[in-house]
């Protein structure tokens, strides 16, 4: 018997709630809380069966979250609100001695910069309180770290080269929309690129490095080197890595619209004065773009996300590619979502299940690759994100 509190009723929150509700043997009591209770109620109603309790909460306010936790008494809090709320939610969990899990690392609102330092700073206090925080348990970060841990455990003595490849070959039919929170998404992709090589971080201009990469069942797609947060923890946890990179696909139309928006100043996070009121252009842009949770209907095509790794096993060169393809239309049929919300929400549910069933345990603040990957990999197959692997074949990223 366990109680879980989900914070954030967006695209990802809806999937987490749906998936937790479908596993009553683990998640006996579920509460979904968000900034707007009406959104939680709508999700709870769609799921039905009186499985989900709902509440309103401002996750920026520690006292409010503490009061909510004290009322509901969860065993674990799943944070699928925005990265801005990570620190307040971690603080609330600390004060109430409740385990914590999220899918994205903290970002300050006024600087488009994400890194683990702020959350890793909670380590000692979580250890002293005897509770556990699992960081970055979506797909990437999340499954990308579990895949890497699985490769390290079963296939390599030393991993040398890691490429995380993320393709969305889907078409939602909208002129322009982002697949997860528009503000967070646009902040991420307009930043400079960065990758790890021989102990150093090499910075690139945004979208400067790109190449065609062949994705299983999809074909070749132009893939752009970006900085992504799991590179920070994976290069620390696997010090034999000589190089670690992250690639994501973007279509020419998407990039074109994004360029225009950037050039006219709509992606800026610097507040401006508009008719006597201070507004942030990117937040205004978010308000006029479709919400990620509404993109599912009519979305066609697949995502394909995986890890391509080169290293050594028993003194010989080894290559390994592990990936999942996820079909937008199938996801919509199952739970009304699109594949990007689904590929984030399912791993968050599985991570919660790992903690609540004691498969992942310990105290402190940990990234997903620090746990045993095997039970998680097994559940990916069971709960909708089956994976495939190729051993000792040419890696698509290198062709
Ligand atoms: P959405 O914008 O659809 O949902 C975010 C939700 O959080 C909304 O319901 C929003 O409320 C709520 N929220 C925002 N601020 C607060 C607050 N102060 N208090 C309470 N609730 C709040 O985003 P997504 O569902 O697409 O993304 C959710 C998270 O998942 C993000 O952090 C994103 O970065 C992460 N993510 C991780 C991925 C991974 O693979 N690791 C991939 C994709 C996303 P309201 O509806 O009122 O605006």
Ligand 1 mutation pick, 12, 188, 339, max ligand atoms within 8 A of CB: 12
Q: Whose CA is nearest to atom 42 of ligand 1?
A: 344
Mean local confidence (pLDDT), 373-381: 98
pLDDT above 90: residue 52: yes
pLDDT single digits (tens) 211-223: 999 999 999 999 9
- Per mean pLDDT, which range of 74-78, 139-143, 147-151, 293-297 is the poorest? 293-297
pLDDT single digits (tens) 133-146: 999 999 999 999 99
pLDDT single digits (tens) 281-340: 999 999 999 999 999 999 999 999 999 999 999 999 999 999 999 999 999 999 999 999
| CATH code given to domain 143-334+387-398 | 3.30.360.10
pLDDT above 90: residue 114: no
pLDDT at residue 113, as a whole number: 84
CA dist 202 to 10, 103, 240, Å?
34, 25, 18
Mean local confidence (pLDDT), 253-282: 95
Ligand 1 mutation pick, 81, 91, 287, 345, max ligand atoms within 8 A of CB: 81
pLDDT at residue 139, as a whole number: 98
pLDDT at residue 341, as a whole number: 97
For the chain, give the percent of residues with pLDDT over 70. 100
pLDDT single digits (tens) 159-196: 999 999 999 999 999 989 999 999 999 998 999 999 99
Tell me, in angstroms, the distance from the centre of ligand 1 to residue 10's CA: 5
Q: Report the pocket of ligand 1 as residue ranges, CB < 6 Å.
A: 8-13, 34-36, 39, 57-60, 80-83, 85, 103-104, 138-142, 180-181, 184, 291-293, 340-341, 344
Residue 216, number of CB atoms within 10 A of its CB = 16
Strands (E), the chain: 3-7, 29-34, 52-56, 76-79, 99-102, 132-135, 158-168, 193-197, 200-204, 210-215, 219-226, 243-249, 272-274, 277-279, 302-313, 316-327, 364-367, 388-391
- 3-state secondary structure (DSSP) of residue 64: helix
pLDDT at residue 1, as a whole number: 84
Residues 6+ apart with CB under 8 A from 15: 335, 337, 341, 342, 344, 345, 346, 349
pLDDT at residue 399, as a whole number: 83
With 0.85 as the threshold, say if the pTM is over it: yes
Tell me, in angstroms, the distance from the centre of ligand 1 to residue 174's CA: 20
């Amino acid at each position: 018997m366990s109680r879980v509190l989900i914070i954030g009723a967006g695209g990802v929150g809806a999937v987490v709630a749906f998936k937790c509700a479908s596993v009553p043997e683990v998640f006996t009591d579920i509460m979904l809380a968000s900034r707007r209770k009406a959104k939680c109620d709508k999700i709870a109603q769609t799921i039905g069966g009186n499985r989900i309790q709902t509440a309103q909460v401002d996750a920026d306010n520690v006292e409010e979250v503490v009061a909510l936790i004290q009322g509901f008494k969860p065993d674990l809090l799943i944070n699928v609100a925005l990265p801005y709320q990570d620190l307040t939610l971690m603080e609330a969990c600390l004060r109430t001695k409740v385990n914590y899990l999220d899918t994205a690392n903290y970002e300050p609102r006024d600087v488009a910069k994400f890194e683990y330092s702020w959350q890793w700073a909670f380590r000692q206090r979580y250890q002293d309180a005897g509770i556990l925080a699992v960081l970055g348990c979506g797909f990437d970060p999340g499954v990308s770290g579990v895949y890497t841990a699985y490769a390290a455990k079963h296939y390599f003595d030393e991993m040398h080269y890691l490429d995380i490849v993320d393709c969305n070959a889907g078409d939602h039919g909208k002129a322009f929309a982002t697949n997860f929170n528009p503000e967070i998404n646009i902040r991420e992709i307009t930043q400079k690129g960065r990758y790890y090589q021989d102990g150093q971080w090499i910075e690139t201009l945004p979208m400067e490095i790109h190449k065609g990469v062949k994705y299983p069942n999809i074909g070749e797609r132009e893939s752009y080197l970006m900085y992504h947060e799991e590179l920070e923890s994976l290069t620390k946890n696997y010090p034999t890595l000589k190089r670690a990179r992250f690639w994501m696909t973007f279509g020419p139309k998407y990039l074109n619209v994004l360029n225009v928006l950037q050039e006219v100043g709509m992606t800026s996070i610097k507040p401006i004065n508009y008719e006597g009121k201070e507004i942030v252009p990117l937040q205004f842009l978010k308000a006029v773009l479709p919400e990620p949770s509404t993109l599912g209907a009519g979305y066609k095509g697949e995502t394909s996300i995986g890890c391509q790794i080169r290293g050594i096993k028993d003194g010989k060169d080894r290559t390994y590619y592990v990936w999942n393809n996820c079909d937008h239309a199938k996801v919509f049929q199952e739970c009304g979502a699109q594949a990007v919300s689904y590929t984030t929400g399912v791993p968050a549910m599985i991570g919660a299940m790992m903690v609540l069933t004691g498969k992942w345990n310990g105290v402190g603040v940990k990234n997903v690759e620090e746990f045993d990957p095997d039970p998680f990999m097994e559940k990916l197959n069971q709960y909708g994100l089956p994976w495939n692997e190729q051993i000792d074949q040419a890696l698509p990223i290198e062709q």
